[in-house]
């Protein structure tokens, strides 16, 4: 299985061509991509002309690329990197079969990843809505679970068994509450 490539399909959101992406959109796309097996992520939509050092961004961009480095969404991509690097990366695989309650559609899409041995799993929910997981693919008889926000993670929840399905209710819910 390790040598078989993963097919990545991306959904690019609920924005029209005239709407700007905010930090929530950046987080959604970042976690969806990385948990689906992408080897990296960028939060930019920059034409090559924007890299030439002009003081003003092109008309269809709000910021120069240098200014965009300081945006909240840019910093939050770093949180995703540190989260993924906190576990063995070379064995992590996308696994939507973990999601027992349905993957959700459009902006409610939930994305799951785990390692091949089942020693850990990560699930991203963009709206903080409750979801259920089938944890039988994980190898431990008891699991530690915690909810992390784009900033540092909250305290761990009590240990759970792997008996399916397990309900999870994030502490916050709503649009852009992930």
Q: What is the DSSP string of 4-24?
A: SPPP------S--TTSPP-HH
The pairing of strands 92-94 and 121-124 is unpaired
Tokens standing for 152?
């540092």
| Residues 70 and 95 occupy one common structural domain | no
**Does the pTM of the predicted model rise above 0.85?**
no
Residue-range definition of the domain harbouring residue 60: 23-84
Q: Is residue 14 part of a domain?
A: no
Q: Is residue 129 part of a domain?
A: yes
Q: Which residues contact 127 (CB under 8 A, 6 or more apart)?
A: 107, 108, 173, 174, 175, 177, 178
Q: Is residue 104 part of a domain?
A: yes
Which domain-ending residue is among 36, 59, 84?
84
Q: How many domains does the chain have?
A: 2
Q: Which segments of the chain does DSSP mark as H helices, in order?
A: 23-35, 65-68, 72-85
Q: Is residue 143 part of a domain?
A: yes
Per residue in 45-62, pLDDT tens?
555 445 555 555 555 567
Q: Is residue 59 part of a domain?
A: yes
Q: Is residue 10 part of a domain?
A: no
Q: Is residue 70 part of a domain?
A: yes
Buried b (16+ CB within 10 A) or exposed e, 117-142: ebebbbbbbbbbbebebbbebbeeee
Average pLDDT over residues 11-28: 66
Q: Is residue 29 part of a domain?
A: yes
Predicted confidence band of residue 174 (pLDDT cuts 50, 70, 90): confident
């Amino acid at each position: 299985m390790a040598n078989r490539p993963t097919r990545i399909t991306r959904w690019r959101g609920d924005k029209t061509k005239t709407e700007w992406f905010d930090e929530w959109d950046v987080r959604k796309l970042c976690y969806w991509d990385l948990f689906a097996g992408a080897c990296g992520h960028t939060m930019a939509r920059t034409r090559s002309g924007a890299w030439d050092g002009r003081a003003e961004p092109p008309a269809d961009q709000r910021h120069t690329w240098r200014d965009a480095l300081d945006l909240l969404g840019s910093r939050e991509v770093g949180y995703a990197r540190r989260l993924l690097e906190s576990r063995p990366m070379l064995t992590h695989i996308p696994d939507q079969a973990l999601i027992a309650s349905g993957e959700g559609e459009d902006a409610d899409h939930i994305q799951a990843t785990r390692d091949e041995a089942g020693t850990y799993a990560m699930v991203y929910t963009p709206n903080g809505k409750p979801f259920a997981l089938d944890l039988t693919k994980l190898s431990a008889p008891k699991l530690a679970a915690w909810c992390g926000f784009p900033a540092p993670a909250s305290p761990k929840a009590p240990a759970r068994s792997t008996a399916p399905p397990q309900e999870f209710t994030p502490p916050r819910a709503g649009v852009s509450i992930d």
